[in-house]
A and B are shown apart, each in its own frame.
Chain A
């Protein structure tokens, strides 16, 4: 099993790398770029919220800050549109982290349930600032310099940079999970007071996790700004984004590594398909809501957990059948009775 897992990951990576070379139509590679960015955001969100149990619905703050960083610097430095702008992406991530420090310091003072709401409130503060403050260009938004690439090339650099961001976010999340820091966050999720009692520096751990998760999301925002070439405050600070990112992680598997990636892939492709077919109208909303509802109610722990449970149950049944020669029910079979299916 430990040999198959890296191979599976490797194959998936290869598939993602060669995808735009096979499917060249810009409509599909655009969807690919959006999907990769969401996968990165969901993974990064999960790295804090999934491991610590503090559900944040304010990730839009970092996305928006990243987008505005990219837009404002591109504009004020009179940059020419193109490769040079990619260097601003990690810078935007850093800005998002800086913003996350005071935001986190304020938001993390409160109880877990109140935390959710205060992240929403803080998100709206930022949205309103973006619309009304003078340096952000107001409701007219900011236009980014025109990138002179042609249609059949345009999406490729974005795709591969986005892929790089996804890989970075996944590796980071995996490293955090295996580290002591990650264990501390998991301990906080299980029982914060006990963790505190055991000597975990709870406030510092939470804040660090929160700030770290902002980096990738800020980068994704910057990529979005560059890709679309135009940002408006009410679309870059969008409440739907916050919920979508959380939902992707839940759908895939809250707290797991593969979960947010899978959730991001499935949900974003589904959303894009819906908008291409039903174009964002009322039917789209109903279908989206129904899809969310079904997933949450029937796969509350996410696809990854549900599927691996199902797979393991089947494997157990098969193993038992092979050793005893008869297909048996794990509950009544003397070999496995009394054991919970993994």
Chain B
């Protein structure tokens, strides 16, 4: 009896399991590229609403939402209202893959926008490629992203490797009397920051600026004081810091202040571009003179930019100077997508991909003109350098550009 009981129990359990699994049958597959009249076009997005990239993820969400609102106000895409289907990936690559699979095969979204960061854009693009979807994104620009051989990936923002070039060229071209003679380079070992430093260093060394210190520190560092002290000890006149977020920059600034070290020029690759998130953490006085490379800022007059800024302030408050550049990156993703959809008069991902790669594509965004090379890089993107001056965030490079203001040089002493 025990024997039979066990057997029947096993059969029972197994058949229940199979039956319940069968109940989960759904049709898989990409949604069709035509949408019924009156139905919205859904766009699936995975964002880092928590985890390491959460502040950027939230700014991205704002940018996507602003774009969707603007498009819907003017009639939607091809007459269909835009609906954003946003899920959180907590900054995890495996979660990103699961999310995009769910968005496409369960939610049947028509299009997909990219997540934040090069780390996440790559697995995301690979996943959606299987379904033939395009991955238009604004924040995956590290060289490793473009080396994967993907044809469906489009980064509307500037490829990061060259973001320090205008800055480096400007420093190297300063008149001999005011040109710094020494520089210290320190960066976190991250795929976004590390490639930028050698590019800048090469230009500056050619301009006669000696390298007094060069080091790479682990991304998981929590106590920056020993490293910052080592940089301070080198007493270089220029500091080029490869950072990805505000806490890193602020830790270095704090350590430099404690060591009474005041470099003449201080540029960080990430952090000072985060608007109030930066100035409130370090203090507006200390922010004075800090430089950062970027592709957009609040007073930009590129097409659509001022309208976006006005809409942002209406929805979220603040001033033009406090808007994070991430918002513009996300907004640009929407703009490029809309332009492709309107040009091909369809939601077919295959057609969109073909259009974006073609040389006749006319794409312009709040970050400027966009053209994609065959790797998906935006090779029309220009890098600018920005600086905090007083309580304003102004463009200073390229110096030839009419929008550039005079550079505040040297950087004011800490706290003054």
Contact = CB atoms under 8 A, between A and B. Distances in A.
A contacts B directly (C-beta below 8 A): yes
Interface of A: 1, 3-5, 7-8, 11-12, 14-15, 18-19, 22-28, 30, 128, 131-132, 138-141, 143, 145-146, 149-152, 154, 228-230, 232, 234-235, 272, 275-276, 279-282, 315, 318-319, 322
28 contacts: A3-B3, A4-B10, A7-B10, A8-B7, A8-B10, A11-B10, A22-B22, A23-B24, A24-B27, A24-B28, A25-B24, A27-B98, A27-B101, A141-B191, A143-B148, A146-B129, A151-B131, A228-B94, A228-B123, A229-B123, A275-B95, A276-B98, A279-B90, A280-B50, A280-B51, A280-B88, A280-B95, A315-B5
A230 B148 CA distance: 10
B287 to A, nearest CB: 28
For the complex of A and B, 8 pairs with smallest distance between CB atoms: A8-B10, A280-B90, A140-B191, A4-B7, A279-B88, A11-B14, A25-B28, A140-B144
A279 B99 contact: yes
Contact of B7 (A7, A12, A143): A7
A26 B28 CA distance: 7
A235 B92 contact: yes
B97 interface: yes
A281 B54 CA distance: 11
Given A3-B3, A30-B98, A143 B144 contact: yes
Contacts of B7: 3-4, 7-8
A22 B25 contact: yes
A1 B10 CA distance: 12
B220 to A, nearest CB: 8
Given A15-B21, A22-B25, 13 more contacts: A1-B6, A7-B7, A14-B14, A15-B18, A18-B18, A23-B25, A25-B105, A141-B144, A146-B148, A228-B93, A232-B93, A280-B51, A280-B92
Contacts of B41: none
B2 interface: yes
A151 B31 CA distance: 12
Nearest to A12: B14
A64 to B, nearest CB: 14
Nearest to B24: A23
Contacts of A143: 122, 144, 147-148
Contacts of B148: 143, 146, 230
B1 A11 contact: no
Contacts of B89: 279-280
B14 A1 contact: no
B215 to A, nearest CB: 13
A229 B94 CA distance: 11
A232 B126 contact: no
Contacts of A279: 87-90, 95, 99
Contact of B88 (A12, A230, A281): A281
B200 to A, nearest CB: 18
Given A22-B25, A275-B95, A132 B11 contact: no
Contacts of B219: 131, 139
B98 A275 contact: yes
B144 to A, nearest CB: 4
A62 to B, nearest CB: 19
Contacts of A26: 28, 101, 105
A18 B18 CA distance: 9
A230 B122 contact: yes
Interface string B108-141: 0000000000010011001001110000000000
B101 A281 contact: no
A132 B190 CA distance: 10
Nearest to B127: A229
Interface string B190-234: 110010000000000000000000000011100000000000000
B173 interface: no
Nearest to A272: B98
Nearest to A312: B2
B150 interface: yes
A154 B104 CA distance: 15
Give the one of B4, B27, B126, B130 with max A CB within 10 A.
B130
B123 A230 contact: yes
Contacts of B4: 4
A229 B126 CA distance: 7
Contacts of A319: 1-2
Contacts of A229: 123, 126
B142 interface: yes
B29 interface: yes
Nearest to A284: B90
B18 A232 contact: no
Given A22-B22, A23-B21, A281 B14 contact: no
Contacts of A232: 93, 119
Contacts of A318: 1
A192 B194 CA distance: 51
A151 B130 contact: yes
Contacts of A4: 3-4, 6-7, 10
B26 interface: yes
Contacts of B50: 280-282
Nearest to B97: A228
B189 interface: yes
A279 to B, nearest CB: 4
A25 B122 contact: no
B279 to A, nearest CB: 28
B140 to A, nearest CB: 12
Interface string B140-178: 001010011110000000000000000000000000000
